[in-house]
Amino acid sequence: MKLVFGVHAHQPVGNPDEIIEKAFDKCYMPFLETLANFPRVKIAFHISGHLMEWALEKREHFIELLKELHKRGNVELLGGGLYEPILSSIPKEDAIDQLKLFSEFIESVFGERPKGAWLTERVWDSFIPSIFKEAGITYTFVDDYHFLCTGLDEENLNGFYHTEHEGYKLYLFPTNQKLRYLIPFRSTSSVSQFLRALNGPGIIFDDYEKFGLWPETYEWVYEKGWLKEFFNIINQGEITTLLPSELLDQGNSLGLVYLPTVSYFEMGEWSLPAKKAFLFKEFTTFLEKENLLQKYKGLVRGGQWKNFFIKYPESNYMQKKMIFISKRIRELPEGPSKEKAKRCLYRAQCNDAYWHGIFGGIYFPHLRESIFKELSRAESLLFGNRTEVFIEDIDLDDSKEIYIYTPQLTCIIKPNLGGSIRELTFHPNHINLVNTLSRKKEHYHMIQRAQNNAKREENSISTIHERIYKLDTNSIEFDLHERTFGYEEVSFDGGKTWVSLISEKFEIESIEGLSFTLRKEIAVSSKKEVAFRKKIELVDNFLKIMYPLIGETPLDLRVFLNIKLTSIDFTSLKIDRKALQVKEENLSEGNEIEIEDKISKTKLLIKANQYSKISIKQIYTFSQTEEGYDRIYQATEIALTPLELKEAFSILFKVEKS
C-alpha cells in the first residue's frame, strides 16, 4: 500500500496571536514532535507564508524541527502564494510575484526551492499552469472532484495527471475525498482497509488543523493515540509513504487532462445564493440517502468561488479596491517604497476575509479589518501627502464611484447606493470606520431541525462536515441593503411612512475641490417630484454631510450612519456629554455624539447643527462555524432625525487619534 500524505497549515493575516499560539500548542507542534519519532514516515507540508513568518519570529523551535526532518528526508515543502491568495482573484502579475517570493523564502530557510505549490482552496482556473510555470512550479494538488467533473472515473484517479495552458505543463495530484474523511476521523484499520482496496497510491493533502484543532480531534489524535498508531503502521512497513516528488520520479503521468473552473465539492454549495444553496444541499442529501451521490457526483455542481463577490457586496468592494490599488502600485518607479507597498498589498490579498463556508471568513470583522489596514498602508505609501480624486467604476458594478484620498482620510462615495459612503478609512490609525457587514440570510438559517449525524463506526469521530446545527432564526433580523454610512429615509406625511433612499441612484451635480453635491429627483406624489440634494465635503480629518433646503415641500429626514467599532466592550459613548452604555440600545435627543474606540485609539465626534432624535443600536450577525454558531457584532447604527427641519441640516463627522 502506497500513500502520498500532505498537510496544509494556514492562519489568516490579522488573526490574533492567541489563536495562532493555540494552533501551535494543540496541533502543529504535537504533530511534528510525533512525526520525529517515526523515521519511515514521509509527509509533504504546506505552511502558508504568513504562518511561516510568524513561526520564524515566535516559534523558532517549530521551524528548527521542520528543518531537521527536511534534512532527514521525511519532509517535502510546498510553496504557493506567499500570503495565501485565491490566485484567480488577484492580478496575474501579483500571483506570479507571490509564488516567486514564497519559493525564495522557503529556499532561504530550508535550503531547497519547492517544486510544488499549494493551490489555495483548490480554486482551479485554466490559466493556473502558465503562472505556475513562470514561477518555477511543476506540480500541485487538487481534489478528485475536479477530475470527476471533467468526466474521469473515480477508480482511475490513484496517481497523477498533467495538464497545460498555452503549452505550459503542470502535474496534478488528485486528492481522495473519501481518504480525507477517513483521516484522522475513522479508525486506523479503516484507513488501511481503504488503501488496500485502491488500484494505486492513495493521495491526501488536507488541513493540518484537523490533527488537533478541530472539535474532538486533540483528544482523539493525541490523547487516544490515533496519530501514533497510524505512524506506527507506516513505520512497520504495512503502508509506504512517498513524497510527491518521489512519486513523480517513479512513474509516468496517467494522462493529459483539462479541468473545469471548480473548487472542492462543498465550495459549490457555499458559493451559491442562499436559496439555491439550500436546494443544492437538499438535492445532494437526497442523492446521498439514495446511495446515488457518488455515482452522479461529477455531474452535480454548485457555484464557483467568484460567486462570493456577488453574494457579498462587501467582499466585492474589498477585492475591487485591492485591484485598484494593485494597478497603481505597478505604475510606481522601482524602489523601496514600491516594494513596501507591494508587501502591504499582498497581505491584503489573503483569501479568508473574502468568502464564507464552514469557517467564519467574511463574518469575522478582524479579518476584514486586516484587509483594510494593509490597503491603508499601501495607499499611504502610494499617494503620500498628496490629495487624489478618482471618479471611476472601482467596484465594477457599472456605476462610477467618487474616490477621495487625503493623508488623513480615504472616502469612497457610491452615488448609485443612495449617495452613501462605502469606505471611510482614517489613515493615521489604518482603520476603516465603515468596515461593516449587513445581516444576510444564509442557507444554513433555513435548516428546520438540528442534525448531529451518527458516527459511521464505533471507533471514530465526526468530521466538521458531518456536524449540522440548528439555529433559532425567529428572532434574527435580516437586512435588505448594505450597511453603509450616510444614507437617508424621507417622509412627506409627518413621519407616518418613511421611504429609504439607499437603493436610489444619485447624480453628481457639481464638484468643487473636495466638495461633492449629489442630486436625486424623488416623488412627493404621483404628480410631483422634488430635487433632493446632499453635499459631502472633506477637510483634513473632517467629513461634512449637508442637506440644503428643499423649497416649500414639507419633509422629514432621517440620516443613518453605520460605523464599525473594534469592540463595543472597550468603547465609550456620550450624547451631549452624558455617558451612556454602548451595548444597550439608546434612544435620546441631542446634537452631539462622542465615541472613543479604546482598542484602535480612535475618537469620533458626530455633531448635527440641529437638535435631533438620536437612535443608537448594535447590529449582530449569526454565522456558522465548525463548532456551531457565532453571534458577531458587525456595526453600530446611528440614526439622526432633526426635530424640526426648518433650515439646511448638516452633520459634522470628525476623526482623530485618542
Sheet of strand 161-165: strand arrangement: 116-117, 139-143, 168-175, 161-165
Comparing C-alpha atoms, which of 241, 203, 207 is closest to residue 221?
A: 207
Whether 437 contacts 363, CB under 8 Å: yes
Q: Alpha helix locations (H) across 408-454?
A: none
**Helix H or strand E segment including 189:** helix 188-196
Q: Is the dihedral of CA 416, 417, 422, 424 positive or negative?
A: positive
Strand partners for 609:
none
What's at 423, amino acid-wise? E
Do the bridges between strand 168-175 and strand 161-165 make them parallel or antiparallel, or are there none, so unpaired?
antiparallel
Reply yes or no on whether 121 is catalytic.
yes
Q: Is 542 exposed, middle or buried (0-12, 13-18, 19+ CB in 10 A)?
A: middle
Residue of 207, 466, 630, 656 with catalytic role: 207
Residue of 94, 121, 154, 314 with catalytic role: 121
What's at 497, amino acid-wise? T
**SS3 category, 538:** strand
Q: How many helices (H) and strands (E) does the chain have?
A: 19, 29
Comparing C-alpha atoms, which of 384, 360, 282, 374 is closest to residue 82?
A: 374
- Distance between CA atoms of residues 303 and 354, nearest Å: 15
Strand partners for 534:
518
Cell of 342: 507591494
With a CB cutoff of 8 Å and minimum separation 6, the contacts of 91 are 323, 326, 327
Comparing C-alpha atoms, which of 419, 561, 415, 550 is closest to residue 492?
A: 550
- Distance between CA atoms of residues 438 and 314, nearest Å: 9
Q: Quick one: three-class SS letters along 336-390?
A: HHHHHHHHHHHHCCCHHHHCCCCCCHHHCHHHHHHHHHHHHHHHHHHHCCCCEEE
Q: Is the dihedral of CA 342, 348, 349, 350 positive or negative?
A: positive
**SS3 category, 540:** coil
With a CB cutoff of 8 Å and minimum separation 6, the contacts of 291 are none
DSSP type of residue 208? G
Please identify every residue annotated as catalytic: 121, 207
